[in-house]
Structure 1
Amino acid sequence: MKKTALNFARIFVGVLFIFSGLIKANDPLGFGYKLQEYFEVFHIPFLADIATGIAILLCVFEIVLGALLLFGFWRKQVTTGLLVVIIFFTFLTFVSAAFKVVTSCGCFGDAIPLTPWQSFSKDLILLALIVFLFKNKDSIKPITNHPGWQSGLFSAVLAFSLLFSQFTYSRLPILDFLPYKVGANLPELMKIPAGAIPDEYQIMYNLTNKATGEKKVMSDKDYLKTEIWKDENWEIVGTPESKLIKAGYQPKIKDLMISDASGTDYTKELIENPYYNLIIVAYNLNDTDEDAIAKINALALNATEQFNIRSVLLTSNSAQDADAFSKKMKLFTEIFYADAVPLKSMVRANPGVMLLKNGVVIDKWHYNAVPSFGELSKKYFAK
């Protein structure tokens, strides 16, 4: 019975750690964004600049620990490492859930979004299983005792996890779980269907009794139900607050608003363009790769001159900063503005390129993998 329980715990924990590490390694930049949220919560913003590097190391660590547990190698060190990791993540998820500081832990990336309490519950189960493994570590049997095979398998797993993380970081996620993936119809993902249940809000009043000085907070429903409004001693103080009590239907894309420098909304015009248009995404011009911007700018110029392709650059920088950057780089493209959050989801690169047509994402590229003008022409524009 104990052997069966030990094998189950070993396989379950090992597979889950490998799966969790691979899912996050598929999108290390996205995991880095999530770590930046935690760094802000714990007041260690100085780590934000190396968040992606830390993210890659954590992914590799998870994959390697999970694989070594399955192999049964170095059981004392591996179970100790697993225990340290799960205690750390259980603490993080508890803080997220209890204090509502991070709405999604990012445990399984964007593939399986979990609420903070779901994530905390998952970590509690893992904690119990890992404690069991730690107490019974001497009963874990390795698949081989040969030192050469052990070192070789360890090296293979380490090399694979490092190379995989580096590849997805320098290109794009192999599996895209975000709403802006290739083939997505952006206008459809932004719509709220007819009959969908809207958000339910409650109006909260701050009341003060002029005679006694007593104060109370009351919802609009209770305000009417109790008929407290008939008592002239009670008066509403300040501005009533609107409180969300039940979330309604949420479209896949709900936070995208593209505007020009004056604030005019161009979202519909750009997203629903019936022709090919190149969207260059550089959410932060201060950290963007300028050599890549120059090459993409030349590509956009050729596309416009020869095929009348509209090219725009989207950024979250201020109009003043964008104008200075445009002059410095001699940009040909139009510049529009959007919040950094949707821009980070569009392309996991700074800069990245999206090819849209009639609202559909035809393709997108990391700046390291943007095709040449000739390749784009042959595949898309010249048809």
Structure 2
Amino acid sequence: MKILVALSRIFVGVLFIISGLIKLNDPLGFSYKLQEYFSAEVLNIPFLEPYALAISVLVVIFEVVLGVFLLIGYKPKFTVWSLLAMIVFFTFLTFYSAYFDKVKDCGCFGDALKLTPWESFTKDVVLLFFILILFFGIKYITPVFSKLQTTVLALLAFIFSLWLGFHVLEHLPVIDFRGYAIGKNIEEGMTIPDDAQKPIIEYAWKFHVNGEDKVITTNGDYPTVDGKFVSVETKIIDEGYQPPIYDFSIESEDEDLTTQYLSEENLIVIVSYSLEKIEKAGAEKLKALSERALKMGYKVIGLTASGADTKAKIKSTYNLNFDFYLCDEKALKTIVRSNPGVIELDKGTVKQKLHWNDFEDLKLPKVN
């Protein structure tokens, strides 16, 4: 039992720290996932949506801290009980998500590792097994260092987690796992290879045959049945290859300009997924940023999911000298974790990406 507890302690502690740090690297992204869980379509607790970011930060800090506590043996009873409560809750959440097919990705490892709902549930069941070993063998969890050293390490883990969460919210994630990371090409990210795995879709055809309803299942072919067709339902068995980027576009009121702007050199793109929710301090920096870029020979555009009236209002309020085009809100939230944020594109390749707090750090050497 002592050996089992030691192995479980290492496995659970390391996994909680890794999972927590990945999410703590991007707490805003995890908050978007929580909003999805809180929505009326999933858990139907929309009153929690405004608090998603605060909950996100608290949960991921707690996750990292518990992992450290477990490894160093700090307050074993509190740590193991907390781990058990957390894993029971997340096991329920992932089972609910998988069984009712509500959320396609639990966000357990952020954008670093995508898990299907059933994979997430399986992961949580495995973790629950090892945490139960810790629960029943709690007397074998002893401090690795002296009492003072253990307390200091526990405090440092909490302070570091708190600092990292604050830092990435005020700037950008330290590591960008998304398809819009610096160096990635957006057009390439939207391309599906010729040899990519195709989606597998099951079709359930319902016919009225001899006074009774009969259902025939195929992979797409219309069945030959001597009866009256009633309806057909589809079920995705395997989604096949999913490109890293699938919902990006640049559209005006009457045309799609995606290809045009992804072929542009020296393009500065101001990103605001919602102009209604734009940070005032960031919006006030946009005029100076765009003027500096234009003066150095760059083309400047904006991307938002907001409507025409709001775009006109923001442009007038802040005396902006560039136009906003339309893009999907989810895509804009993925591009940059800042509202507003800025990216530099060169023929579709992301060269720079900055939070509005760091607009002054945007490098703009003069171009022809």
Deviation at 1:219, TM superposition (A): 4.8
**Equivalent residue of 2:208, what SS?**
strand
**Equivalent residue of 1:37, what SS?**
helix
1:368 partnered with 2:357: yes
Deviation at 1:70, TM superposition (A): 0.8
- Who is 2:25 aligned against? 26
Structure 1 vs Structure 2: percent identity of aligned residues? 39
Of 260, 263, 273, the residue aligned with 2:252 is: 260
- Who is 1:293 aligned against? 283
Note if contact 1:187-1:272 (Cα within 8 Å) is conserved in structure 2: no
Q: Which has the larger radius of gyration?
A: 1
- Who is 1:37 aligned against? 36
Structure 2 counterparts to residues 224-303 of structure 1, below 5 A: 227-228=224-225, 231=226, 234-237=227-230, 244-262=236-254, 264-273=255-264, 275-303=265-293
1:165 partnered with 2:168: no
Distance 1:168 1:302 in 2: 26
Structure 2 counterparts to residues 1-383 of structure 1, below 5 A: 2-40=1-39, 41-146=42-147, 148-201=148-201, 205-209=205-209, 212=211, 214-219=212-217, 227-228=224-225, 231=226, 234-237=227-230, 244-262=236-254, 264-273=255-264, 275-304=265-294, 306-371=295-360, 376-377=363-364, 380-381=365-366
Note if contact 2:16-2:66 (Cα within 8 Å) is conserved in structure 1: yes
Q: Any idea what the Cα deviations from partners look like across 1:48-83, whole Å, max 9, x if unmatched?
A: 122111111111101111111111121111111111
Change over 3 Å in CA distance of 1:221–1:3 after alignment to 2: closer
In structure 1, the gaps of 5 or more residues are: none
**Equivalent residue of 1:269, what SS?**
helix
**Equivalent residue of 1:368, what SS?**
helix
Change over 3 Å in CA distance of 1:193–1:221 after alignment to 2: closer
Deviation at 1:222, TM superposition (A): 9.0
Change over 3 Å in CA distance of 1:151–1:177 after alignment to 2: same
How high is the TM-score relative to the length of structure 2? Answer: 0.93
Change over 3 Å in CA distance of 1:218–1:327 after alignment to 2: farther
Change over 3 Å in CA distance of 1:12–1:328 after alignment to 2: same
Note if contact 2:289-2:359 (Cα within 8 Å) is conserved in structure 1: no
Distance 1:331 1:181 in 2: 27
Deviation at 1:289, TM superposition (A): 0.8
Distance 1:119 1:222 in 2: 29
Change over 3 Å in CA distance of 1:119–1:340 after alignment to 2: same
**Equivalent residue of 1:77, what SS?**
helix
Deviation at 1:46, TM superposition (A): 1.7
Q: Which amino acid aligns with 1:5?
A: L
Change over 3 Å in CA distance of 1:269–1:142 after alignment to 2: same
**Equivalent residue of 1:363, what SS?**
strand
Deviation at 1:47, TM superposition (A): 1.5
Q: Which amino acid aligns with 1:297?
A: K
Note if contact 1:313-1:333 (Cα within 8 Å) is conserved in structure 2: yes
Report the aligned-residue RMSD: 2.2
Change over 3 Å in CA distance of 1:266–1:78 after alignment to 2: same
Distance 1:221 1:4 in 2: 50
Distance 1:199 1:321 in 2: 39
**Equivalent residue of 2:360, what SS?**
coil
Deviation at 1:37, TM superposition (A): 0.8
In structure 2, the gaps of 5 or more residues are: none
Distance 2:271 2:363 in 1: 18
